[in-house]
Amino acid sequence: MAFWRSKTAPSQPESGETPPAEDQAGQGGMFTKFSSGLQKTRRVLGTDIRDLFKSEGRLVDEEFLDELFARLIRTDMGTGPANKIRDEVAKQYRGRVVQLEEVVATITTEIREQLRQDHGGLAKADSGPTVILVVGVNGSGKTTSIGKLANHLRSGGHSLVLGAGDTFRAAAVEQLTIWAGRIGCEIVTGKSGADPASVAFQCVDKAMETGADYAIIDTAGRLQTQSNLMQELQKIRKVIDKRLPGAPHEVLLVLDATAGQNAISQAKGFSAAAACTGIVLAKLDGSAKGGVVLPIHEQFQLPVKFVGLGEGLDDMAAFDPDSFAEALFQN
């Protein structure tokens, strides 16, 4: 596992090379949101990596490294990445007395580098509606994320159609219908138990007919181990592509930030079946850090596109590697 890609880890943050956040108009507000959401997290945990260091610096020994490892593990990044970071810190600092800024800067820089991605925004279709398919395990927050994403796009002046493709769970269609009503956008629904692929087809159809900018399609929650349901996702993809060649343009995997190492298996399974293009990290406003996206990004090159920070319509922010990396360890 090449988590630690750059073999010569820079001990100074490469502030000069930090990529400018792909900021669009109006997103500045979302970053503020991001920070305020994470503020809660920090308040509760109360402790952070700085606690490991006394103001006059601290000797990097086995005990120090163990404590560091504990902090790393608590982000849910997994033992692989945590061991790598620990080893790296040991290599650079063992036997030295270090200042907090030094080590934190190194780790944060490394993680930020790890998460550096080509583009943070949503893909856009060259012509016609951009189709977004949303997938994930049960209870990860798909429907809520769709509501928030739709609101985000709507307030950006885009027209959109929602597709209530979760025809399995009781009242899932109603839930999305309520969101659509709040946002004021079109929704295509099927009967309970209807073929989700047909709902997806109709949704794309409607979006093309009405000339909408986006079509966002919900799917029922499923575990990545349920191969018949994973095949259903492939079918949905196929049907969408039939109606609008090249679609879906985005397949967003919704991950629960409280999830542990199983999220890696989720990313693997859903990527294989539905060719995911990005992640929505939901429920990041809790005390969970969502560090599991690090190994996921590393193994599947799946960028995090959005983070969910609450249950309100506006509680979503574009993912920003810098604040995410900072938030993992810092106040």
Partner 1 sequence: MFDSLSEGLQSAFKSLSGKGKLTEGNMRDGLKIVEQSLLESDVSYSVVKEFMAHVSEKALGKRVLLSLRPHEELVRIVHEELIETLGPVDPSLHLKADRPTVLMLCGLQGSGKTTTCGKLTQMLREQQIEPLLVAADLQRPAAIEQLKIIGEQLGVPVHTETDHQDPVKVCQNGVDRARRDGNRVVILDTAGRLAIDEELMAQLKRIDKKVGPDQVYLVVDGMTGQDAVNSAGAFNDALELDGVVMTKLDGDARGGALLSVKQVTGVPIKFIGTGERFDALEPFRPEGMAGRILQMGDMVAAAREAHRIVDESERESLEEKMASGQFSLDDFKNLMQKVAQPGLMGRMMGMMPGMSQFKEALDSEEAGGQMKQIIGAINSMTPAERKNPKLIDAARRTRIAAGAGVQSSSITQLIKQFDTMKPIMQMMSGKGGGDRMAMLRQLQSGAMPGMGGGGAKIKQSTGKRLSPAEREKQRKEREKLKRKMKRKRR
Tell me which long-range contacts 263-267 makes (C-beta under 8 A, separation of at least 24): 263/76, 263/292, 263/293, 263/296, 264/78, 264/292, 264/295, 264/296, 264/299, 265/224, 265/225, 266/136, 266/137, 266/224, 267/296, 267/299, 267/300, 267/302
Site for partner 1 in 234-263 (CB under 8 A): 256, 258-263
Q: How far is the CB of 125 from partner 1 (least distance, A)?
A: 29
Spell out, one character per residue from 65 to 104, where the chain touches partner 1: x when CB under 8 A holds, - when not. Answer: -----x--xxxx-xxx--x---x-----------------
Q: Which token pair is 192?
A: 């309970």
Which one among 6, 44, 119, 210 touches partner 1, defined by CB under 8 A? Answer: 44
Nearer to partner 1, 10 or 260 (CB): 260
221 is in an annotated binding site: yes
Site for partner 1 in 98-127 (CB under 8 A): none
Specify the DSSP class assigned to residue 129. P
**189 touching partner 1, by CB under 8 A:** no
254 strand-pairing partners: 136, 280
Nearer to partner 1, 106 or 144 (CB): 144
**36 touching partner 1, by CB under 8 A:** no
Contact (CB, 8 A) for 74 and 327: no
222 is in an annotated binding site: yes
Q: Which class for 92: exposed (0-12), middle (13-18), buried (19 or more C-beta within 10 A)? A: middle
Q: Which token pair is 159?
A: 């027209």
161 is in an annotated binding site: no
Q: How far apart, in whole angstroms, are the C-alpha atoms of residue 28 and residue 105?
A: 24
Which residues line the annotated binding site for GTP? 136-143, 218-222
Which residues line the annotated binding site? 136-143, 218-222
The site for partner 1 (CB under 8 A) is made up of: 1, 40-41, 43-45, 70, 73-76, 78-80, 83, 87, 137-141, 144, 147, 168-172, 174-175, 177-179, 223-228, 231, 256, 258-263, 265-266, 283, 285-289, 292, 311
